[in-house]
Structure 1
Amino acid sequence: MSLEEVRRDWTRLGADEPLWAVCVDPGKRGGRWDAEEFLATGEDEVAAALGRLEELGAAPSPGRALDFGCGAGRLSNALARRFASVVGVDISAPMLERARELDRSGGRIEYVLNTGPDLRALPDASVDLVYTDLVLQHLPPDAAAAYLREFARVARPGAALVLGVPDRERPTFKGLVFRYAPWPLIRLAQRVVLRYPAPMRMHTWTAERIAAELEAGARAAGRPAPRIIASDEYWGGDHWRHLKHFVTVPSDGTDGADATGGEDV
């Protein structure tokens, strides 16, 4: 699996079913997502996540936010209600076209096509919040690791990160299929049985692996390591256990020790 394969698959998903591909709901296939209802789901999610950061004493400055894997702009619009500017990055040009159509920010969102293995369009220490939800698992593991290191580079001291990923398959039939079945078979089932416009590959990410990549990125940038301060289980389902990791970037010269020592990791 390569980034080019991911780009091709999500280009097709963005062209055929952009809103459903972002929020997979069997009842919304065939263009049945109402645009405002779709955006409202992003508002609910961002409000809850930023409320959690505030509860943890880690609310970021309301300067610039990065929405990584922004898709059709579901979260970007919600972030733009709370930050002075938002940059939404995605690998799919059709997704970004739809995001621009749904832009309700009055010009505060910049959408950027990013097909490479890094975030070179963003300077060091340039964002106050990195937000990504249910994106990293669709990428090849080495590419996801590189982006995690980039998050540590582009985050300002005192910034926060919100990272939503599955950390393991559930011990159910569907979960075990994804754990043990060969990818070509899963790909065929998604295309033929489930009739996906393009397949969605999945990888799990543990808190320990995430913390290690963030630390490596910070070290390369000469910065203290970000620290996971909480990992909350959310969005159930019978395939994977999903965790939303809340991360702080030190601003006082601390070394970020105990990087996986937050709540419920």
Structure 2
Amino acid sequence: MAESFRFRQIIKRVVRGAYWLWTRRLEADAIQMPRSDYKRTWQHLSESESDAKMFVASTTDEQTFERSAAYTRGLLERFVGLHASDVVLEIGCGVGRIAPEVAPLVKTWIGTDISANMLGHAKRRLATLPNVRLVELADVGLAEIPDASVDVVYCTVVFMHLYEWDRYKYVTEAHRVLKPGGRLYCDNIDITSTLGWTMFSDAASYPPKERPSYLPMLSSADELRVFGTKAGFSTVMIEQFDDAWVALVARKV
């Protein structure tokens, strides 16, 4: 119980910090671009590895980085399972924060990201892991990944940066690239949680004309359930946990 509480505090601090950095940095730089220009945005935010790490987890401290990655690995083991024979794909892998926890447990770990800078940092960080493959995405989706080639797809702390349509695109693409029996995990901050409502209320406090373009966008259980069902998954479950998160956990026929 104490360990669970400690990780809840870590992840809440990480998300709150990322939220603050995201809004302050974009205001300070006066970036004017549409939310959907993900590649340009994340290229800008990851010019240095230290900047990239701050925007991934609001810290450059390796121990904090490792603890947050271990927290995510635990969620994956709990909700979708990780097996030695699995090919596992992460949507939005950033600098490769989670790979050191997951790659040693599986056959192949594939990290995908829309930012070449992020993948450059990840390549250096993960150089000692022999079963890692990094793939730059040209646009929203997983066009670079073959059909029915992956056992597990997961996406964590990414949906908050995406429009709902693009979240759904990644869910449908996950269904396409998963093998029969493949498993999916996607999370976001839950708007019905204490943390989620605080973040939503903070964003709502901005006058509309002064509201930064890239404030985090939250999810609800109903939204993620509909995405999983409409994408064609045979088993769709919703998990809400740590008074912060909502996750889609799904399986393909």
C-alpha separation in 1, matches of 2:128 and 2:39: 26
TM-score, reference length from structure 2: 0.74
Q: 1:41-52 alignment to 2 at 5 Å?
A: 41-46=68-73, 48-52=74-78
Aligned to 2:240: 232
Q: How far does residue 7 in structure 1 lie from its aligned partner after superposition?
A: 1.8
* 8 Å contact kept, 2:225–2:248: no
- SS of structure 1 residue aligned to 2:47: helix
Q: Which amino acid aligns with 2:184?
A: L
Q: Which amino acid aligns with 2:139?
A: G
Figure out how many residues of one structure are paired with residues of the other and give that number.
Answer: 215
* 8 Å contact kept, 1:159–1:248: yes
- SS of structure 1 residue aligned to 2:190: strand
Give CA-to-partner distance per residue, 1:110-135, whole Å, 9 cap, x none: 11111312211112221111111110
Residue ranges of structure 2 left out of the alignment (5+ in a row): 1-33
Could you list the runs of 4 or more consecutive aligned residues of structure 1 that deviate by over 6 angstroms after TM superposition? none
Aligned to 1:258: none
2:228 maps to 1:214: yes
Q: 1:4-83 alignment to 2 at 5 Å?
A: 4=37, 6-16=38-48, 17-24=51-58, 28=59, 33-35=60-62, 37-46=64-73, 48-53=74-79, 59=81, 61-62=83-84, 63-83=86-106
For residue 248 of structure 1, the aligned residue among 230, 248, 251 is 251
Percent identity over the alignment is 21
Give CA-to-partner distance per residue, 1:143-189, whole Å, 9 cap, x none: 121111111221222222221202316486653132464666242xx
Aligned to 2:201: 176
Q: How far does residue 65 in structure 1 lie from its aligned partner after superposition?
A: 0.4
C-alpha separation in 2, matches of 1:74 and 1:226: 29
- SS of structure 2 residue aligned to 1:3: coil
For residue 185 of structure 1, the aligned residue among 190, 201, 210 is 210
Residue ranges of structure 1 left out of the alignment (5+ in a row): 188-198, 219-223, 251-265
Higher helix share: 2
Give CA-to-partner distance per residue, 1:11-58, whole Å, 9 cap, x none: 12111401111102xxx3xxxx24465245313420x113313xxxx5
RMSD of aligned alpha carbons: 2.6
* 8 Å contact kept, 2:150–2:177: yes
C-alpha separation in 1, matches of 2:174 and 2:207: 31
Distance 1:200 1:72, change over 3 A: farther
C-alpha separation in 2, matches of 1:105 and 1:41: 20
TM-score, reference length from structure 1: 0.71
Give CA-to-partner distance per residue, 1:191-242, whole Å, 9 cap, x none: xxxxxxxx74322222222222223332xxxxx53411x50323x5xxxx32
C-alpha separation in 1, matches of 2:41 and 2:208: 15
Distance 1:246 1:104, change over 3 A: farther
